[in-house]
């Protein structure tokens, strides 16, 4: 184990590769509502992004947004605009900003801020009916990698 770790460290140092850390939710730099920099330092995986978008336990985008690409899924939403052609309407930076915190782009939207941990008015503790405990750290709805994966998937949805 020790040899493997040392060999990996030597490889990374020798090739000049850096192991980037995720950008924390509070450190995300918005330019208007765009986020130019990857939250992970890498591009996302579109296949994993499709899972984020269509899974109720992750992004659950399917609850509000319909798209032909996942028309085989039950309960395609009608609250938000269809995602067909979203890659033709928005840039990657715009989509990253919208998914991270749609409230910056669209005042009054019901779309959740998926990468936000502060500034809430009344944060509830799941479905308990109680307020969020003051000593419990708030985590974003999606991880930085899940945001990047969802954006990579959205960038495949052309007209």
Asked whether residue 13 is assigned to any structural domain, the reply reads no
Asked whether residue 130 is assigned to any structural domain, the reply reads yes
Residue 45 CA to residue 6 CA, distance in Å, equals 29
Structurally, how many domains does the chain consist of? 1
Asked whether residue 14 is assigned to any structural domain, the reply reads no
pLDDT the model gives residue 19:
52
Tokens of 154: 């959205």
Residue 59 CA to residue 150 CA, distance in Å, equals 8
Of 154, 158, 150, 156, the residue nearest 44 (C-alpha): 150
Residue 119 CA to residue 113 CA, distance in Å, equals 11
Asked whether residue 41 is assigned to any structural domain, the reply reads yes
Asked whether residue 97 is assigned to any structural domain, the reply reads yes
Asked whether residue 100 is assigned to any structural domain, the reply reads yes
Domain that holds residue 135: 20-154
pLDDT the model gives residue 126:
79
* pLDDT averages per 10-residue partition of the chain, 159 residues: 39 43 94 97 96 93 92 81 96 98 94 92 84 90 97 96
pLDDT the model gives residue 121:
80
Asked whether residue 9 is assigned to any structural domain, the reply reads no
pLDDT the model gives residue 92:
98
Give the global pTM: 0.82
pLDDT the model gives residue 14:
38
Asked whether residue 52 is assigned to any structural domain, the reply reads yes
pLDDT the model gives residue 16:
36
Q: What CATH number is given to the structural domain containing 92?
A: 1.10.760.10
């Amino acid at each position: 184990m020790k040899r493997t770790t040392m060999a990996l460290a030597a490889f990374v140092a020798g090739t000049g590769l850096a192991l980037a850390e995720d950008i924390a939710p509070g450190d995300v730099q918005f330019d208007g509502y765009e986020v130019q920099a990857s939250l992970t330092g890498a591009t996302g995986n579109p296949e994993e992004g499709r899972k984020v978008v269509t899974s109720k336990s992750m992004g659950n985008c399917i609850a509000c947004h319909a798209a032909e690409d996942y028309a085989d899924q039950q309960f395609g939403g009608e609250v938000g605009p269809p995602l067909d052609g979203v890659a033709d309407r928005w840039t990657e930076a715009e989509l990253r900003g919208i998914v991270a915190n749609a409230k910056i782009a669209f005042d009054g939207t019901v779309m959740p801020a998926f990468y936000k941990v502060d500034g809430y008015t009344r944060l509830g503790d799941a479905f308990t009916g109680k307020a969020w405990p003051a000593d419990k750290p708030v985590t974003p709805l999606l991880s930085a990698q899940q945001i990047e994966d969802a954006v990579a998937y959205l960038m495949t949805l052309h007209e």
